[in-house]
Structure 1
């Protein structure tokens, strides 16, 4: 399973550990991913996603999963999130 947020696309970054003597060794910065179940108002069902905590805060700030997905760029979303976004658009159009 990829260490990537399904809503924002945030993934693993690399950098250096720098010691007091300025020795540099490579390291990885992992995103803070959590498994959450969010409720979609348009679909009237829960959706399980693996997202970073920053995305969770943004979802709450924007007013829920539906509002977040409709505003988010398609390039950042995972295939699962794109499918949910398509279902939300279809239910709102009907």
Structure 2
């Protein structure tokens, strides 16, 4: 009689070497250690730029890649794109609303910091991108003009301070 192999259930062979998404010597962490110099850092690289983020307020968000994993644990490569929305944001210093392409994360940060002007003033340059840096320069010029008017209106009285302050004494 010819020996036959028993039919194996799916759970018997799942994860065994070479049969699917389980861990093997080829993909385990211990077999692919890299030197510290070759590891990717979290700092943004100057050579890799997400160009679309330079035309809006993306708060440092870029394209990311990873896997979609199905119920059978089959991994499929995919990209994770930033949640970009077109919004109208009010700038108090500029005195107008600006239509901006922005991410949900940037909107949350703007709200947390207290408005567009404060967000532009306190955010790091690499998070703002080229559009944000240009907008920051416009807001800074408007702030300087506003400060100049306030200080200039006080020349006859107390030096410095806001126009609404009452001099002491």
Same fold? TM cut 0.5? yes
1:61 equivalent in structure 2: 112
1:75 equivalent in structure 2: 126
Contact 2:57/2:106, CA 8 A, preserved across alignment? no
Q: Select the structure of larger CA radius of gyration.
A: 2
Inter-CA distance 37–18: structure 2 relative to 1 (3 Å threshold): same
Alignment of 1:37-52 (within 5 A): 37-52=88-103
Q: TM-score, normalised to structure 1's length?
A: 0.86
Q: CA deviation at 1:52?
A: 0.9
Instruction: Give yes or no for the alignment of 1:15 onto 2:66.
Output: yes
Alignment of 1:18-29 (within 5 A): 18-29=69-80
Kindly report the root-mean-square deviation, in angstroms, between the aligned alpha carbons of the 2 structures: 1.7
- Higher share in strand: 1
User: Matches of 1:22 and 1:79 in 2, distance apart?
Assistant: 41
Q: 4-13 or 57-66, which moves further after superposition?
A: 4-13
- Indicate the structure whose relative CO is greater, using CA pairs within 8 Å and at least 6 residues apart: 1
User: Matches of 1:18 and 1:91 in 2, distance apart?
Assistant: 50
